Amino acid sequence: MRRRIVIWGASGHAMVVADIIRLLATYEIVGFLDDVEPERQNTKFQGIPILGGREQLDKLRDSGVEFLIVGIGDCAARLELAEIARGKGFSLATAIHPRAIIADDVEVGAGTMVAAGAVINPGSSIGSNVIINTCASVDHECLIADGAHVGPGVNLGGNVTVGSGSWIGIGAKVRDGIVIGARAIVGAGAVVLHDVPDETVAFGVPAKVQRKITPS
């Protein structure tokens, strides 16, 4: 019997998550949650109902839905919603595409999504609620902390650390041994040859820190 799951989010990233969930055939998707556009309630997305927003969580849990995955690309929001879901008693599902390649000793945390074509090499550790996106490569002994997003086509050399909630943009390349701090942003196509501090934005070839991120 397939386990029932709800996906929190109902846009492009949630579409990819839903595709992986379907391919795994482990779960039955009962619906999506959308807090952004409440008018979408009772419509369908990817052929599956949008049930409403977070006000549906208690009802879903009471009905026996045990599993949830956050299908939102924004790192801070993904971490926040995952914590709310855990507080409501949901178990966070992990979605790993069957055509991703992950070494046997790699630990992958709850709520994490690994997309098609991604490669994660031995000795690496992937935290909770992480996104390893399409065709990204994570080389040996990397540490990807909770809530980080390694974008499509990113290449991480060996022994790279990516801090909690950080975003590495599409096609960026990170030299071995680099530390990307917490809640940092690395721009698309950047070539990172030096560490990137917490809460900064870095981009360019080679990448340079351009500014601090101002808390909203």
Is the pLDDT confidence value at 216 over 70? no
Contact 196, 184 (CB under 8 A): yes
Length of the chain, please? 216
Give tens-digit pLDDT for 109-124: 999 999 999 999 999 9
Average pLDDT over every residue of 59-65: 96
Phi, psi of 12 (to 5 degrees): -60, -45
Residues ≥6 apart with Cβ < 8 Å to 30: 4, 5, 6, 48, 51, 60, 65
Contact 109, 91 (CB under 8 A): no
Which domains does the chain possess? 3-93 (3.40.50.20), 96-212 (2.160.10.10)
Instruction: Give the C-alpha distances (Å, rounded to integers) separating 2 from 28, 111, 114, 191.
Output: 6, 18, 21, 43
Structure confidence at residue 1 as a pLDDT band (50, 70, 90) = confident
Give tens-digit pLDDT for 202-211: 999 999 999 9
**pLDDT of amino acid 25:** 86
Quote the CA–CA distance of 107 and 146 in Å, as a whole number.
Answer: 12
Average pLDDT over every residue of 84-101: 98
Average pLDDT over every residue of 155-182: 98
**pLDDT of amino acid 90:** 98
Cis peptide preceding 215, ω within 30 of 0: no
Other C-beta atoms closer than 10 Å to the C-beta of 107 total 9
Is the pLDDT confidence value at 47 over 90? yes
